[in-house]
Structure formats: C-alpha cells, structure tokens
C-alpha cells in the first residue's frame, strides 16, 4: 500500500452527454483518462453497479483500492449541502433523490466526494490560471442551461442550503413560460443553449452549432446572448468580482459573439466601477477540466 502522498484520485465527471473518468495524481497530473457517452449510465437501473463495472478495471490497473485516496465525482446535478444526495440531474435519468455517496462508498469502502460540475469547472480554471486566492471570482457557463459558480478567496461558495449560484433561475418580469426547475419566468428561458437550439430548429432549420456563423446577426439570436450578458451584469453589480470566467458549450461554438457579450455586460454596469476594471476571461475548453477539477475539490474536502 502506498502512503497518502503517493495515492491517486479516481475522478468521474457525469455530464448530460459524456461521462469522463480518469486517475489523477496528487500534483493534479492526469495518469489515465477516458470518455464514453453518459447514455449508458442514464439508462442503467442500478447506477452503483454500472459505475462499478466501469471503474473496477481502472482501479485494478492502478494497483487496486489501496492505491486510491478517494473517488471524486463532478455532476450536473443539484445536491444537498453535505453533498451526499443528488436531488435531480436534468439530463440523466434516475438521479432523483439518489443517495449516491452512500451507494458508492458501500461498493468500494473508499471515501466518495461529490460536487456540482460548475464548481469543479471553476476550481479547474482557478488552478490553471493561478488566480482567485483573494476576492470573488464568478464562473458563468452558457451551456444547455445557464450555469453559475462563485469562489471566495479560492473556496467555492455553496450557500446555506447548498443551492447557491442559480443565476439561470432569477425571475424576469413579464416572462410567463414555465422553467424546467418548476418555477415560472426564469431568465434561463431566454438565456441558454436550449433556447438557441429551439431557434435553430424552428426559425432557421439549421444545426445549433452553425447558428452564430450563419445567423449570428439576427435579433432573436443576439437576444439570447444579450440576456446571458444581463444575468452576468446583475451578478457583477452585486459582487464586484476580481474577474468573470466565461465558459460553457455555447461560448465555444464557432462565431460566438464574445465582443458583443462583453460590451453588453459592461454597458449594464455602473461607472466608473466596476465597469472600467471588469475582466472577463474564457474558461479552459480542456476535456479533462471536470476530472481534474474533481480532484482539486477532493483535496479540499479531505482536509
């Protein structure tokens, strides 16, 4: 058996589309990495058994359970403050009120750490860019939904009940549609990739990935970006952060109007500050961000 300093993190990022997993060393080097569609896990009736089948060979290759410090998960899921129960995961079936931590700890007898994917993403960017040790850093992730995270002095802020930073679900006057969260009129109904996909399908009959290149100057497309910028400006107005990390699949689509986004955020901030000093930095598009972010989170959680 290895001593603590030589043990590895076994990390899994469970996203709506992909399940990424790998072994990460104590200095956050990726020792092993793989990616499969998350549909298998979504369809599996027994989530624990599915993950055991997937991860047992990885454990064996790396010297067995005794060489692993913990299993660390990054999930696109709401969860309780103690990070033991998944409340729901909009794009994966069978995660409603699932006590995943206990299920997995019983399977391997290893500590299991869970965290929301937006938080592990932000931890990865703080680590990679050597920033965030002082003050507030905000992460805004425009993906299928409008994701959000916040760190204070390098630590992820989870909130009193563990459900902080639900930026996509701030109320907008005059919006009557129901949101997937069960509430009416959330800003996400006009500000996320799902809305862009609808516009692409219904107005332009094109792939959503082409929408900025082909129709990026159209008012309905720009309106989605503008609404994302208004949500961002709202949070910046309240928190006056050191910087905003901007990521998510939509921002990585060809032709994403980054300048338009930044201009709209700034136009909606007060002068002279925070408008003059606001920094918006792109999140890293690295495929392993969630897996290494899970290791970074596990290190803090195990202290």
Check residue 7 for interaction with Zn ion (CB under 5 A). no
How many residues sit in the footprint of Zn ion (CB under 5 A)?
5
- Local structure of residue 200 (DSSP, 8 states): I
| Contact status: 281 vs Zn ion (CB under 5 A) | no
Among residues 183 and 279, whose Cβ is nearest to Zn ion?
Answer: 183
Coil, helix or strand for 153?
A: coil
Q: Which of residues 165-184 bind Zn ion (CB under 5 A)?
A: 169, 179, 181, 183
- Measured from the CB atom, the residue of 248 and 290 that comes closer to Zn ion is 248
User: Shortest Cβ distance from residue 128 to Zn ion (Å)?
Assistant: 30
Q: Does 239 bind Zn ion (CB under 5 A)?
A: no
Beta carbon nearer to Zn ion, 191 or 253: 191
Q: Which is nearer to Zn ion, 95 or 127 (CB)?
A: 95
CA distances from 211 to 134, 199, 218 (A): 38, 9, 10
Closest separation between CB of residue 143 and Zn ion, Å?
15
Shortest Å, Cβ 192 to Zn ion: 10
Please, which contacts does 26-33 make with residues 24 or more away whose CB atoms are closer than 8 Å?
26/69, 26/299, 28/127, 28/292, 28/295, 28/296, 30/288, 30/291, 30/292, 31/62, 32/58, 32/61, 32/62, 33/287, 33/288, 33/291
Residue closest to 68 by CA, chosen among 42, 103, 107, 41 = 107
Closer CB to Zn ion, 36 or 178, in the complex:
178
**Residues of the shown chain interacting with Zn ion in the complex, contacts defined by CB under 5 A:** 169, 179, 181, 183, 186
């Amino acid at each position: 058996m290895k001593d603590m300093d030589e043990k590895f993190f076994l990390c899994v990022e469970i996203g709506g589309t992909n399940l990424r997993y790998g072994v990460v060393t104590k200095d956050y080097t990726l020792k092993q990495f793989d990616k499969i569609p998350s549909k298998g896990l979504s369809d599996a009736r027994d989530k624990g058994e599915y993950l055991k089948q997937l991860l047992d060979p990885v454990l064996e290759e790396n010297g067995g359970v005794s060489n692993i410090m913990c299993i660390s998960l990054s999930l696109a899921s709401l969860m309780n403050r103690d990070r033991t129960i998944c409340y729901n995961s909009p794009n994966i079936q069978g995660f409603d009120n699932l006590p995943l931590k206990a299920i997995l700890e019983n399977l391997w007898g290893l500590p299991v750490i869970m965290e929301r994917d937006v938080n592990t993403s932000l931890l990865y960017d703080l680590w990679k860019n050597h920033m965030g040790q002082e003050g507030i850093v905000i992460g805004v992730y425009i993906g299928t939904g409008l994701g959000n995270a916040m760190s204070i002095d390098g630590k992820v802020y989870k909130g009193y009940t563990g459900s902080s930073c639900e930026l996509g679900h701030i109320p907008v006057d005059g919006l009557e549609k129901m949101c997937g969260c069960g509430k009416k009129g959330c800003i996400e109904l006009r500000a996320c990739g799902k809305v862009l996909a609808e516009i692409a399908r219904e107005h332009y009959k094109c792939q959503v990935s082409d929408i900025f290149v082909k129709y990026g100057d159209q008012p309905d497309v720009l309106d989605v970006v503008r609404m994302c910028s208004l949500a961002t400006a709202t949070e910046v107005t309240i928190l006056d952060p050191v910087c905003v990390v901007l990521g998510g699949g939509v921002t990585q689509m060809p032709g994403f109007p980054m300048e338009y986004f930044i201009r709209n955020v700034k136009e909606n901030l007060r002068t002279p500050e925070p408008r003059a000093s606001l920094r918006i930095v792109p999140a890293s598009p690295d495929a392993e961000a969630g897996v290494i972010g899970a290791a970074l989170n596990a290190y803090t959680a195990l202290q």
